[in-house]
Every structure is written in C-alpha cells, then in structure tokens.
Structure 1
C-alpha cells in the first residue's frame, strides 16, 4: 500500500523524535567527566568527591576528574558550573553552604541555587563539631562557656558558611561575642587552630576525628540533633543545654540547568548505585559521612526548605549579607 509523501515525512519525523533521547543516552558519555569541588583539596567535600569520582567512573564508562575551585564561599565553583555547557560533562558537588547558605550570606550571588542547576544525585550528610586546642584550658563545655564570656572575645575560624552560621548561633545563645575569622577551607582553619592563631572552629567530623584521636584538639559539642558514632561522648547542642539546633552539611551532584533529562537521570542512577553499595557505605561511614537517598523530585523542595532554614538562622544570629 502506498502512502503520501507528506505522511511519510510525518512518520519519519516522529521516529526521529522518539529515537533522539535514546541516541543522547547511549552516546553519552563519550569523553571524561569533571566534578568541580567548591573547596580546597583535603576538605570533606574534596574527599567525598574523589571517592564518588572513583566509584562513578566504571559505572559511566569514562574517567571522572576532580577539579578544585575554592574561594568565594563556594560561589566561584557554583558560577563556573552554572555557566558550563549543559552537556553532562561538567558537574558540581553542591553543598548546604553553596546552595542554601550563600543565598542568605551574599548580597550578589552570581547563580540561582535552584534555577541554574539540575539535581543529579543526592547522596548524604556530614556533621560539624566544636573544636578547641587540647592545651587551651577548655577541656569541657562549661570551661569553654566560661572563657567565651570573658574578655577578650574568642576568635573562631570559619572555613565554610556553615561554620560561620553555627558560630554566630552559638555566640547568640551564649549572649557573648565571638570574633569571626574567614578561611577558604575548613582544613586551613583547623591548621591555624592547631598553631594557636585562633581559639576555636567548627569543623566537619571527618577532618576533626584524626586530630581528636591524636590528642591535639578537644571536641566539645555537636552542631547536630544526634551524636556522631565516631565521637559518641560529645553531646549535641540540645543535650548541652544550648537549645535545639542542627545544621548538618549535605551533598548533591549538580549539573547545569538545561542538561538533557535523560543524562541527569543516568547520573542520578549511577550515584544511587554508589551510595547503596555495602562496601561504599562502609567506607563513607568510616569518615563519618552518612549516605542517604533522595529521589530526584525530592531534592528541589529540600533545598528550598534549607534556604529558608538558613535565612531564619542567619537572621536570628544577626548575620547581614556581605
């Protein structure tokens, strides 16, 4: 049976439209991927990114390169990825600080945390802990509070926006001043704590535990609603009488917005295969990272709620945008 030329063209067009996503999915990736890390090498984010890159490479069939672009509270990395070609080859480890904190701490943020990104794999949380030097005479939280209320004010190094907000919240609840000292990364702040340049810092548990075990620092309180399995003796804010408080770091792989949905879905599937692998879970928990699955449709509402949470905390602590 013959068909008209117009009908034939219509059928071919429909077939091409149906096949296009399949070609995009099967043809990608055709070259190495890059995961941009918003903080310096040695940070918890960097450690997690390298582990993720190692695990994603065989699942995606291409090498995955880690590129550290620290500075600007993570906004340098965020801006770079937001403006990258939406082809699935340039990704970012987005964090609570870069995507919930920065909208509340920076007057001029070059990217929109929701509009400029496509969530491509939520994979878990990590906690923060208050650290002081072991020889600082603040062996217990009551010792710390007594010193914090004395003069001169304590100096606190903040290598992430999270550390800054936690410190400001603690100062507000204690009714005292704590001088905020900005750093490009948590490891840099911790290094200056160890050398005596600052009095305290809130660091992620993964970099804190080795120093605690070495006897170089004291861990006094968790900025979370639960204790850390690696520091089970350290109380939470609420247990310490400082009121309910939790500002955990979370991590999600982001692609630029307008990245083809089938590519985003493939990355998300690979990420979830990684964080549900028993051996990977064991490795992640060994650095006090708690893997957690969130479906793609849950991620945007979660980030929106976190932006609002950071706004409330920043306002209560008297932090103005800079």
Structure 2
C-alpha cells in the first residue's frame, strides 16, 4: 500500500489592522503601568536590598520597615513617576510587539502543523524581539528610577531626575544600562509569555472544545491567574542576575571599560549568591505583576472589542 501522506493542515492567520495593534498597545501600556506603579513600594525595597549592604540580609518586610523608620513612608514611593511612564511605553511596545512578531513567525512556519510543532520557538522569538524594541524606550526611564531610588534626594520627580541625569551624564549614562536591561528584560519576557502560553495549553489540553466553550468566568479567571503566577515566578528567576547587575551599573558601581567587562567584574565581585539577593521579594512582586498584567490586558482588550491573538496550542486529544 502507498505510504500515508497526510496533507498539512491549513494555517489560519488573522489579519490584524492598525486599530487592532493600537488596542494591543493601549491594553499592554495600561496593564503594565498600573501593575508596576502599584508595585513601586516593593520594587523600592527590592532595589535597596540589591545595592545597600545594610539591607542585604533583610527580608521584604523587615527591609521596608527599616526604610520607613529611617526615611519616612514617602521613601517607598521614590521613582513612581519614571516607573509609571517607563512601563507605559514599554508595556505597550512589549504586548503589541509580541502579538505582531508571533503572527509573523506563525506565518513563516507555513502551515498549522509546523507552527504547532515549533510553537515554543515561536513564543521565545516573539517575546525576545518584542521586548528588544520596547527596551529602547524603557532604558533611560529605568536608569532615572534606579538613580532616584539608590540616591535619596537625587531629584523631586521624573522630569527633574531625567534632566539631571541627562545633564550630568548625557545620553551615555541614560543608556548605560541598555545591555544589562536587555539581559534582564528578554529573559523576563520569555518567562512571562512562553510559560503563560504553555500553562494555558496544559490546562486546556485535557478539555474538549465544547468543555472549553462552556467554562464559567470563574474557571477562566482561575486558569489565567494560576498561569500568570507561574509565569511570574519563571520570569523572576530567569531575570534576577541581570536585574541585580542593572541596579549596580545604574548606581555607578564597577570598573571602567566596556559594558561586558564591567558586568563580568561585577558578577565575580557579587558572586552567585549575591546575584540572587532579593529574589524572594522579587518573586512575590513579579508573580503579582505578571498575573495582574494578563488579567488587565485581557479585560481591556475585551472592553475595546480587540480580537484575540494568534493561538497555536497543541490540540487536545478530545478535539
């Protein structure tokens, strides 16, 4: 008998309009700025644990209490402006970029079977490229935030902090952390998007299409929340070493020389344990950030009538 030559399943790719990408951008921008802004106090404590030897052995709670006791409650809101604005543009670029590049890579696969087979590579590639472009806008604002957090009284707000950093250090200082921020944010985005996609796939794989269609809002919320929390843990662990180095670089630590040389020296000085200082608080923060972002992103997209993204999950055996 002739060999079984099954024809590859046709590939359906939605044709997103400029308005659709505008919706993706706005939903991503709002979900990122809302969650990162809300997490500012935790991020302040996390950053101070990373860069202040006096706080290195403190937990999130004890470190926060010490900062409040010495500097007052307002210290926990240091850097709120750069955080809100920076993650507004970064979040919009990251989420819209992920939707755009995932669609491009799926189209490049050519057929449904190939896209599903290489779906993890597609998630990794789309998250990486989308984040790379988003970080061009984030880097100077993140440098401003870290300088304000690490040097109490550095500036009174976003505008004064940004202009002072630009005046004293120029564009070079604003983008001094570009390489480490890429090393931080790209693994973060990979953990965020790839793990979230795979967690949803695992949750849905045991269900038929009919069961998925009849899921209650609470069941869908539980799946989204659980997937987001796990993705947040993955994002925190993958990006923690570069996050620590980024804080050190933006405070001016490290020798002179190229960025790769500075990062290498700093990594050796800090050591493996030091690179993961503050991981516990950051995992708590990131789990809340990522799960919150996906929930808010989906809600805003639904409210604006935006279409769902391209789905290439492996089909359930019950379908």
TM (normalized to structure 1)? 0.26
Q: Which of these two proteins has the greater Rg computed from alpha carbons?
A: 1
More strand by percentage: 1
Give the structure with the larger helix fraction: 2
* TM-score, length basis structure 2: 0.26
